[in-house]
Structure 1
Amino acid sequence: MTATLEPTTTALPPLRLGALTVDPAVVLAPMAGITNPAFRTLCREFGAGLYVCEMITTRALVERNDKTLRMIRATTDEKDAFSVQLYGVDPATVGRAVEMLVDEGVAGTRPAHIDLNFGCPVPKVTRKGGGSALPWRRVLLRDIVRAAVRAAKDVPVTIKTRIGIDADHVTYLDAGRIAQGEGVAAITLHGRTADQLYSGTADWAPIARLVDAVDIPVLGNGDIWEADDALRMVAETGCAGVVIGRGCLGRPWLFGDLAAAFAGEDRRALPGFREVAAVMHRHATLLAEEHGERHGCSDFRKHVAWYLKGFSVGSDTRRALAMVSGLDELADLLARIPDQPYPTAVLGAPRGRTTPPRPVSLPEGWLADRDDPRPPVGAELETSGG
């Protein structure tokens, strides 16, 4: 089922990242445990765009960690648009990881795009000086970006960041200028500081200020729950495209809505439950093909509540779906739920984690010297995925 709205925009131009064209200008944000090959395939079936893999830790890649090597692989349909996000705090390690991707084909295919993570707010990352803590050390940020861009050669490099550590330690404008100076193809800004985590409402005003401050494309991120939120963000900020994270959880058809919206069309999907059930089974099937049926269905359990949000489903069935271990069992449980219209009351509502704000964990003395180029001791994470 689809809804028809009044047209609200003209078509948005494609996003150009070096030789890579992203049309529509929509990017799936890396999410740990979510943006695996199965989920990327499912989202791509609904709409075009750029679909980034889970965050890959540069140290783990350089050391050829088995889990990381399994994670960093392209699906059949993304051979020409494989997108990798890297996390690292040491310029030499980041540069070597990019070389492995670009020159050695360690991922099985040469990436078409590499993103650097300077936006993750979780404590295990920031307490090591990584993620959204790192842009405070602007010389270290420059050195990491420079190493990545040089090693990437013709592969476009982008960065993703937040407004800053907190309201007293704002970093996004410096990060944007450094990125532009080092040859980065685009920058994504999430409209929250690190201490806000995923609480409250994203502030889009800094996205507009960054658009005015740099010449490279700026992508907006934060609180895009519907395609019309994306249109509003573009109109309010002038950003060149959007990055979608929590808004697509349990709603991969959002990418179809975004493609329609950025093409100037007024179609929006409102699938009834039978259609949603088919998507759920397809998602679980893709995971089963990737990991085996039992493990794939186990991994699918985390998605159940997102898909069922707002639907009338009995508590016994919900509990059984949260314990599902096979595709036939999943199909049987879904068949017991009566068909019903899409619950429009949940449209525009936050999805996924909504953690309260808290002070950012940082390495000792991290704020003392912005121009200290040294990576913190022991900062490199050993595993990928965030």
Structure 2
Amino acid sequence: MRKNKAMKVAAAAVIAASSVTAVAPLQSEAATSSVDKAITKATNQMTKAFNAYYKEAKYKGKLPSTTTIRKEAKLARDYYEAAKKEISKKGGSKKAAYTKKLEAKKPYLTRAENYVAAVNINIAAKKTAFNTAVEGGTQRKVFLAQEALDQKNAEFKKAVAKVFGPDARRLLLAKYYTPAEKLSATVDAEMAVYKAYREIEQKDLIETDLAKAGELIKSVEKQVAAIEKKDTKLAKNIMKAVKKIHGPLVPAPIPTLELALKSVEATVSNGGTLRRDTANKYILEGPSTAVLNSLIVEANLDGFTATVVSVDGYPVNKPFNSKDGDTSITVNLNEVLPFQLPNGLNLGTMKSFFGEEATIVINLSKAGAKTVTETITLDIEVVEANK
């Protein structure tokens, strides 16, 4: 009995061992099959997700449905993670080869996810908030809303730069970035004025630095002119602030300087004199041998120019300049007359040439001042000495 029982136990052990040997190869084949399937599923989906936006943009010139690309990218990520787990669990000695095969397609997943990351940046919400703020017309709220929109738009542009494919990038910017940029720019003039006047008010520049306040006002003159024409609540509110602050900053008008002839003197030798008769009429008196050396023209402003336009109708246009601080100019008539005498202007010769009167037309000019024209009349009287 014992011998028979021992033989039965031994036989059972042999059968069990043979069963294990027969099953093992089947389990190995199953493991290999499941990993391959997981990798194939993942790589196919990663390629599909990438093509969902890339081919649409490149070959059809349009962007995919946001819902579609999000769904495809999520499935690709899920299948990729599942394949990694399957390789780790059942890859056996081929783990490295399996991983290499899976990772070869990983760039497609990264590109699809970069695309989704860009479209997930919610510019629309910032645009809505911006429009609401502009309609409300409160300057600070518009300023903050514009700032938030610009920041979100810059974030989107940065994300788009990571998207694979120039066609997709171009379409994304055209659809989302450019409209937001244009929307923000609609209040650029208002915000420039707001920031300038806010600085004036916050720093109390009217009291502490009027010159700086004037510079800020001047820097936004064009913008103020632009928003004055707008009939929006925001523009009207900003113009109220402008009028409130601008009053004290308006400088008093600078009067236009006006030159005027104060007097005419002369250097006369050999017994001659020059005296004023009336207004711009002067009497030049003396013997025929008396010499008029020059006229000294004095004006009410310094640093001016006296241009001799004509002498007794003869055109001259000869300028004489005074220095800054000097209110008089010496005019050498011998340089402007149609004739020259080596020893100056002899009264006898002048009377024979001009007759009893000589008229001299002079323009007085100075930068920033109104040019005036003065006509000086010389009454020539030759008085011979008593014999």
Normalized per residue, which structure has more helix? 2
Q: Look at both structures and tell me which one has the larger radius of gyration over its CA atoms.
A: 2
Both structures adopt the same fold (TM-score exceeding 0.5): no
User: Normalising by the residue count of structure 2, what TM-score does the alignment of the two structures yield?
Assistant: 0.17
Normalized per residue, which structure has more strand? 2
User: Normalising by the residue count of structure 1, what TM-score does the alignment of the two structures yield?
Assistant: 0.17
Higher relative contact order (CA 8 A, sep 6+): 1
